[in-house]
Amino acid sequence: MYNISRIQIDYGKVKDPRKRVREMPRATQILRKSRKVVEDLNLLKVLQSEISHELSSNSFQDESIGSLGDFVLDWNSSRSQDVVLRRKSESGEEVAVSALLSQKTYDTEGIFPRKLLMKVCVKRPGLSSILQFDCGVSEKGVCRSDFKIRSAYFLQSTTVPGSSIYRGPLFSSFEPQLQDALKEYLVARGIREDLTNFLLLTLHKKEQGQYLDWLQKLESFVMKDERLFSAAAG
C-alpha cells in the first residue's frame, strides 16, 4: 500500500514553480546592473586616461606669441567660444573684433590645428552705418599668421540685417588692387600679425581649457553614478 502521508511530505518539499518565475526578473536586473557597472568603470578609465593626456601634453599653455596692441579684451567668458576686442582712437573711430575657432581641423607644420573666423567692425564718428569685414585667420608656419577678407559690407548700427539685405558684391570679384587696399585699411587699424597670433593662441588655449573642464565634469558624473550602483549592489 502507498504511504499517503509520505507522498504528502514529499510533495511539500517540491519548490513552488511560481516562486522561481518571480525570482528570474530579479536575477536579470542584477545582471543588468553588474553589466552597467562594468561599462561605467570602463568609461571612467578612458576618461581618466584622456584627462591625464590633456594635462601632460599642455599643448598651448607654454606658448607666448602675439599681443593685443591698442585693443582691450572686452569679452572672454569661459562659457562661450568667442572673444571680443575693442579699440577707440583719439578721432573717435571705434573698431570691434570678434573671433572664434572654426569647426574644421587642418594638418599644419605649426602648432595650431584650427583656423579662426574673425569679424571686424569699424564705426566712424557721426555715421550711423558700420563697415563690417568677415575674415579668416590661419597659421603660416611657426609663430606666423595671416588673415584674408572674405566679405565686406555696410550695416546700420540700429538694425539687424535680414537675409534679403544687399551686402555688396563678392569680395573675390573685386579687383586685386581694391582687395589689397581694403586689407591695408584693416592693417592700419591694428589688424596685424601680432593681433592674429594673439587670437590664435588665446582661442586654442580657451578651447583646450573648456575641453578639459568638460572631461572632468563627465568624470565626476560617472563616478557618482558608479557609487550609486555600488551601493545598490552592496
Tell me the C-alpha distance between 168 and 159, whole Å: 17
Tell me the C-alpha distance between 70 and 73, whole Å: 10
Q: Given pLDDT bands bounded at 50, 70 and 90, which one contains residue 62?
A: low
Phi, psi of 145 (to 5 degrees): -150, 165
115 grid coordinates: 583656423
Q: What is the pLDDT of residues 152-168, one digit of tens each?
A: 998 876 566 666 677 77
Q: Given pLDDT bands bounded at 50, 70 and 90, which one contains residue 28?
A: low
Where is pLDDT greater, at 139 or 142? 139
CATH number assigned to the domain with residue range 72-209, chosen from the 4 options 3.10.280.10, 3.40.640.10, 3.30.1490.190, 3.40.50.300: 3.10.280.10
Examine the pLDDT at 201 and tell me if it is beyond 60: yes
Where is pLDDT greater, at 124 or 53? 124
Long-range contacts of 85-89 (CB under 8 A, 24+ apart): 85/195, 87/189, 87/190
Please give the pLDDT value at position 7.
44
Domain range list for the chain: 72-209
Please give the pLDDT value at position 232.
39
Examine the pLDDT at 11 and tell me if it is beyond 50: no
Examine the pLDDT at 181 and tell me if it is beyond 60: yes
- Per-residue HEC secondary structure of 18-44 comes to HHHHHHHHHHHHHHHHHHHHHHHHHHH
Where is pLDDT greater, at 34 or 41? 41
